Amino acid sequence: MIEKLRIYNSLSGKKETFEPIEPPYVGMYVCGPTVYSDVHLGNMRTFMSFDVIYRYLSYLGYKVRYVRNITDVGHLESDADEGEDKISKKARLENLEPMEIVQRYTMDFHRLTEIFNMLPPSIEPAATGHIVEQIGMINQLLDNGFAYEVNGSIYFDVSKYNKDHNYGKLSGRKIEEMMESGRDLASQDEKHNTIDFALWKKASPEHIMRWPSPWSDGFPGWHLECSVMGTKYLGETFDIHGGGLDLQFPHHECEIAQSVGAYGKDPVHYWMHTNMLTVNGQKMSKSLGNSFLPHELFTGSHPLLDEAYSPMTTKFFMLQSHYSSTLDFSNDALKAARKGYKRMINGLRLLKEMEFVEDGTAKDEKSIEQIEQIIRMCHSSMNDDFNTALTIGQLFNLLKKINSLHTGQLGFDAIGKEVFEKLKSTYIDFVENILALKEEDPADFKKLVEAMVEIYREAKFRKDFEQVDKLRAGLKANGIIVKDMKTGIEWAYEE
């Protein structure tokens, strides 16, 4: 039984008991999307995992400041500081302002987070809104001797940093091996060493996104924004930093080096990484061309899909695996997830309407102990590094008890009011507030109305006027009126 929250920390490679720096406050930073194209389902898996983590921390009573940024500048096409800025490039190709690209994809991303029933973060800062602070941090790194200038660009000096610190401690890489593998590229680069990374890049004449700085008109390096915004909103050292596993190196490794280089402090206590959503075992990624967009799932329009899957089915599919395991995309798994989701939500509907009734059944200590045990296991599964997969299993165990109460197999008095209320609030809290699954409206409202109107027609034909009135009132309560026309019965929205 895990009483206290334990988190797998990528930095130590172990599960650790969670001890916030200043309880009950928790600072959590998650690298947000680069808003140059549609967010794919893999990206959503990562953001959804951190939404559940945020929700569970809040459920435990922590006051979480959750910062998730918007990357709207600096993310180049390659991790080796080469290629064009992703947003600049898209703007150039579409002949739009970069901020039009940013606006479009940020809004799309927000719409998706709502569809998936995710909470907004406490702060959602954008990199372009923090250029001044980024120049400030570069100045600090120059002053401390960890950065150098070449032709108006500034680079972080990894080998100098590594003399007294450990570049590679998060990703477990050895600096000598990294230097060796990058040797071939060295001649084409203005950096002293290929493992050095850009803090500021001088903009070429055709580069659209540029800001003045002491060194050149240019733009900040991608890793810098997260260090700057994390520090600004959460302090020089904060509790949790998250992102997908593919960001561990170089992005997060560089963030550590920047913070230690500028402020002499490790920026983060718990580094958390979500694993990848895969397609046939390969990471889902836009550049590999194997990505699924959420709306392709909702409409079933992707060639690899047998049919459409709703947002909550998709969410259930994601939550059925632990965030640190890879999850392979498959039609069979989605179909199973749809069944599971519906079972869980039927339980929710049932339970919300269920009230304790005295039925005079004899006290059943064994059932009470079983229910108490399942409730403890719901908590203990989430305390075990936010294991949503195990938690869902426990919720299904609880659901068996709920169904037994519903069918009368288990009496209310047998478990008593207190245990019943605890069962009820646990199930509702875990489903609605922690996993954040919600009831979905029927896929096709109009089909339901048509079916009701057909029953209305039959009732009218039978001259069953009591039924006719009931149906008319029921439809009206839902904004639909039925009209008896000469040509037959029609329906319309009530005006």
Query: Interface residues with Zn ion (CB under 5 A)?
Result: 31, 226
From 100-108, 172-180, 242-250, 334-342, span contacting ligand AMP (CB under 6 A): 242-250
Give the one residue of 43, 106, 227, 387 binding ligand AMP; rule: CB under 6 A.
43
Q: Are strands 268-274 and 238-244 parallel, antiparallel or unpaired?
A: parallel
Please report whether residue 191 would count as binding ligand AMP according to CB under 6 A: no
From 229-237, 241-249, 295-303, 478-486, span contacting ligand AMP (CB under 6 A): 241-249
Structure tokens at 434: 């922690």
Crossing angle for the helix pair 331-353 and 388-407, to the nearest 10 degrees: 50
Please report whether residue 452 would count as binding ligand AMP according to CB under 6 A: no
Crossing angle for the helix pair 98-115 and 86-94, to the nearest 10 degrees: 110
Contact predicate 224/258, CB 8 Å: yes
Contact predicate 9/271, CB 8 Å: yes
Task: Output the smallest distance, CB 95 to Zn ion, in A.
Answer: 29
Please report whether residue 33 would count as binding ligand AMP according to CB under 6 A: yes
Q: 34 vs 394, which CB is nearer to ligand AMP? A: 34
Instruction: In whole angstroms, give the CA distance from residue 261 to residue 225.
Output: 15
Beta-sheet strands, E only, within 277-427: 277-279, 282-283, 327-328
Task: Output the smallest distance, CB 283 to ligand AMP, in A.
Answer: 5
Task: Output the smallest distance, CB 201 to Zn ion, in A.
Answer: 17
CA nearest neighbour of 101 among 70, 132, 134: 70
Structure tokens at 429: 């809290």
Please report whether residue 170 would count as binding ligand AMP according to CB under 6 A: no
Please report whether residue 283 would count as binding ligand AMP according to CB under 6 A: yes
Output helix, strand, coil percentages for the chain, rounded to the nearest 5. 50, 15, 35
Contact predicate 395/430, CB 8 Å: yes
Please report whether residue 467 would count as binding ligand AMP according to CB under 6 A: no
Residue found by looking up tokens 């936010």 in the block: 386
Three-state SS at 409: coil
Q: 321 vs 380, which CB is nearer to ligand AMP? A: 321
Please report whether residue 250 would count as binding ligand AMP according to CB under 6 A: no
Q: 9 vs 274, which CB is nearer to ligand AMP? A: 274
| Per-residue mark of binding to ligand AMP, 62-101 (x: CB under 6 A) | ----------------------------------------
Residues at the contact surface with ligand AMP, assessed by CB under 6 A: 31, 33-34, 42-43, 45-46, 243-244, 246-247, 274, 276-277, 283-285
